[in-house]
Amino acid sequence: MYKMEQANSDEIDGLFTRLYLEAFPAVAAFVSKRGGSLERAKDVFQDALIIYYEQIYTVGAKVRISDKAYLLGIARNLWYGEVKESQFLSDLDGLDAEKLADKAEPEASEVKLLSFLEVAGQKCMEMLKAFYYDSLSLSKISERFGFSGKRSATVQKYKCLEKVREEVKQRKLEYADFSE
């Protein structure tokens, strides 16, 4: 299976375009046969792509069947509700699974925090995403974000974690004040 070494926007675009062309017709046929609409097929496929991405990139799972078969399998499970998204996504060892954003819709406070971080801490969020969500290697991250080496990338990662953690704390305090 092809794995992106560097998940830049063009490559992501190329990956998802290929996956749509290869696998969406089968998923759409499956949903249509069971009386689902095109919109429903698109929703199921989007969720399946997110699970696919997180399994392969975040978790680093090895997939031994074709992308098409794998995506169709996820989509069937999503359709039948046999496998909840969270079951696919809960194996980030040790992280508090319930606390993770497994809910389909993030809470209002989470949405506010995210919008804030997108503006105020975008560089940090992009870097943390590259580390923890895209699981890029330290050397790729150094290259992309312009660090002198792995060590300085590591230090910067922890600085960003500290910064965002402080932000999470502040937002929680504000939210607690607000809801009293």
Partner 1 sequence: MRTSLNEIQHIEKHLLGDLPKEESLLLQAKMALDPDLNEKVTLQAETYAVVRAYGRKKLRTEIDRVEKKLFETSKYAGFRHRILNLFR
Residues in contact with partner 1 by CB under 8 A are 9, 12-13, 16-17, 20-21, 24-25, 28-29, 32, 37-38, 42, 46, 49-50, 53, 58, 92-96, 99-101, 106, 110, 113-114, 117-118, 125, 128-129, 132-134, 155, 158-159, 161-162, 164-165, 168-169, 172
Smallest distance from partner 1 to CB 53, Å: 6
Smallest distance from partner 1 to CB 84, Å: 16
H helix intervals, the chain: 9-33, 38-53, 67-80, 85-89, 108-120, 122-128, 138-145, 150-179
Tell me whether residue 38 or residue 65 sits nearer to partner 1 (CB atom): 38
Q: CA 99 to CA 97: how far, in whole Å? A: 5
Tell me whether residue 49 or residue 75 sits nearer to partner 1 (CB atom): 49
Tell me whether residue 47 or residue 64 sits nearer to partner 1 (CB atom): 47
Q: CA 16 to CA 22: how far, in whole Å? A: 10
Contact 86, 97 (CB under 8 A): yes
The CA-atom distances, in angstroms, between 128 and each of 87, 118, 153, 168 are 24, 12, 11, 14
Smallest distance from partner 1 to CB 93, Å: 4
Smallest distance from partner 1 to CB 149, Å: 14
Segment (H or E) for 62: none
The separation between the first and the last C-alpha atoms of the chain, rounded to the nearest angstrom, is 52
Q: CA 139 to CA 152: how far, in whole Å? A: 11
Tell me whether residue 77 or residue 127 sits nearer to partner 1 (CB atom): 127
Tell me whether residue 42 or residue 144 sits nearer to partner 1 (CB atom): 42
Place of tokens 């980030």: 92
Smallest distance from partner 1 to CB 132, Å: 5
